[in-house]
Amino acid sequence: MTNTEAKQYPIDWVLAKIAARPDALATLRRGVGRSLEEAPGSWPYVMEVVGDNRFREEAAHVVLGLFALHHQSQDPGSMNRPGWGFGRACRALKRRRAAGGLSDDGVERRFRSAVGADSLPALATHLRGLVTMLRGEDLPLDYRQLYWDLSAWRAPERRDRVALRWARDYFSSRTGDQSEEEAS
């Protein structure tokens, strides 16, 4: 990543930095399920992402915590993949579980709850369960896109557009998508 890209997308720079630091990942995992105010260990990382934009602090806190949770016992950065939006990742999770003979009902239920969440804290709760399932199946997620999606979640009209995009990706009738098979 060039310096220009890092300045343009500080989330990418911070994700790359913490992916290689088990201590940072552990600190961020401790903040999962807590508000930003209750997780002072995440403050330095959150502030690196958002700078002076207080509007995005909560989104950065949630995304960094989920990233740390997703990367537990994984190769650094391996679960962060551009182009793997939330809906697509959940679709791949559902297919992977069904192909393995496992029930995919939990994925569908959690996904529907996530897209119907009316607040970022409610969404974060649903995302946590799905990210844990993604980790268990070695499926990636685009954390930069998730950051932008969660940043939009506070505004109802923007939230609806994000939820619709996720639903389109999840309920897509595409079958045999080779790139999903190559996820792990």
Domain shared by 101 and 144, yes or no? yes
Domain shared by 93 and 152, yes or no? yes
For residues 129 and 156, what is the distance between their CA atoms, to the nearest angstrom? 23
Q: Indicate the residue among 45, 70, 95 that finishes a domain.
A: 70
Token pair of 98 as six digits: 């069904």
Q: Is residue 75 part of a domain?
A: no
Domain shared by 66 and 93, yes or no? no
Domain shared by 127 and 58, yes or no? no
Domain shared by 101 and 177, yes or no? yes
For residues 86 and 41, what is the distance between their CA atoms, to the nearest angstrom? 26
Taking the complete model, does pTM exceed 0.85, yes or no?
Answer: yes
Where is 50: in which H helix or E strand? Answer: helix 43-50
In the prediction, which pLDDT does 177 show? 52
The domain containing residue 15 runs over which residues?
3-70
Q: Is residue 161 part of a domain?
A: yes
Domain shared by 104 and 177, yes or no? yes
Domain shared by 99 and 174, yes or no? yes
In the prediction, which pLDDT does 100 show? 87
In the prediction, which pLDDT does 182 show? 52
**Three-state secondary structure of the chain:** CCHHHHHHCHHHHHHHHHHCCHHHHHHHHHCCCCCHHHCHHHHHHHHHHHCCCHHHHHHHHHHHHHHHHHCCCCCCCCCECCCCCHHHHHHHHHHHHHHCCCCCHHHHHHHHHHHCCCCHHHHHHHHHHHHHHHHHCCCCECHHHHHHHHHHCCCHHHHHHHHHHHHHHHHCCCCCCHHHHCCC
Domain shared by 10 and 65, yes or no? yes
Domain containing residue 148: CATH number: 1.10.520.40
Domain count for the chain? 2
Token pair of 3 as six digits: 């310096």
- Tens of pLDDT along the chain (184 residues)? 444 444 458 999 999 999 999 999 999 999 999 999 999 999 999 999 999 899 999 999 999 999 999 998 777 768 999 999 999 999 999 999 999 888 878 899 999 999 999 999 999 999 999 999 999 999 999 999 999 999 999 899 999 999 999 999 999 876 545 555 555 5
Q: Is residue 164 part of a domain?
A: yes
For residues 32 and 69, what is the distance between their CA atoms, to the nearest angstrom? 8
For residues 4 and 172, what is the distance between their CA atoms, to the nearest angstrom? 35
Q: Is residue 105 part of a domain?
A: yes
